[in-house]
Amino acid sequence: MFAVIFDVGSRQAAIANGSDVSHVHRCFEVERRVKIAKPLLLVTTPIGLGIGLYEGYRLAGGLVILMAAMIAVIGVAMGSVILTIRRERAAEQEKQKQLPPET
């Protein structure tokens, strides 16, 4: 799927190259349908964690506290990586804005 979308490029380029336009249209439809994955994961992951904690409490009682602590540590680690990436990206964009335009 990715190779097809990558090779196709834009619709205007496909028309200019004489490619099959309907093939290009199908590729863009596939790309549009895949966009449901991210919102679906954002909704189902917290629900799954909650159900997992509940089942852990039913199975092992107090050990669910350790499980919740482990989930919290992993969440903090992921958050720190995300914040570092955003900070570095913002610094790089600020540096690009300060550079004089090349002629």
Summarised one tens digit per residue, pLDDT across range 72-87 is: 999 999 999 999 999 9
Evaluate whether residue 103 is within a structural domain.
no
Q: Do 48 and 19 fall into the same domain?
A: no
Please state the φ and ψ torsions of residue 2, each to the nearest 5 degrees. Answer: -65, -35
Tokens of 79: 């958050």
Torsion sign over Cα 39, 42, 48, 51: negative
Q: Do 85 and 66 fall into the same domain?
A: yes
Q: What does the pLDDT look like over 42-71, one tens digit per residue?
A: 899 999 999 999 999 999 988 999 999 999
Q: What does the pLDDT look like over 5-49, one tens digit per residue?
A: 444 445 555 555 555 555 555 555 555 566 888 889 889 999 999
Total length of the chain = 103
Which residue carries 């790089």 as its tokens? 92
What pLDDT sits at residue 83? 97
d(CA 89, CA 10): 27
Range of the domain at 23: 2-34
What pLDDT sits at residue 5? 42
